[in-house]
Amino acid sequence: RIAAEARRRGIPVLVDGAHVPGLAADPLAGVDCDIWVGNLHKFGCAPRGTAALVARTALRDSLFPLIDSWGAR
């Protein structure tokens, strides 16, 4: 209900799926959000500090990396 109300008011919905990668076959299945983030180091066995960020196309141009690495846009 909170996400639905946020959408009604035009507020982007962010889901922090910190420990989902590695536990679910498709961590985004059934998740209706504008931005999703999840850590990859715990169950994904990736190096510490690695994560995934997924954003709706309409929001991508408003996001920017804190550290510009390898020409990130």
Task: Please tell me the distance from the alpha carbon of residue 61 to that of residue 51, in angstroms, as a whole number.
Answer: 19
- Gap between the Cα atoms of 14 and 46, Å rounded: 23
Q: Report the pLDDT value the prediction gives residue 39, as an integer from 0 to 100.
A: 86
pLDDT exceeds cutoff 80 at 70 = no
Q: What SS3 string covers 9-60?
A: CCCCCEEECCCCECCECCCCCCCCCCEEEEECCCCCCCCCCCEEEEECHHHH
Neighbours of 38 (CB within 10 A): 23
17-51 pLDDT per residue, tens: 888 877 777 777 778 899 999 888 877 778 888 88
**What is the average pLDDT across 5-13?**
94
**Average pLDDT of the residues of the chain:** 84
pTM (predicted TM-score): 0.74
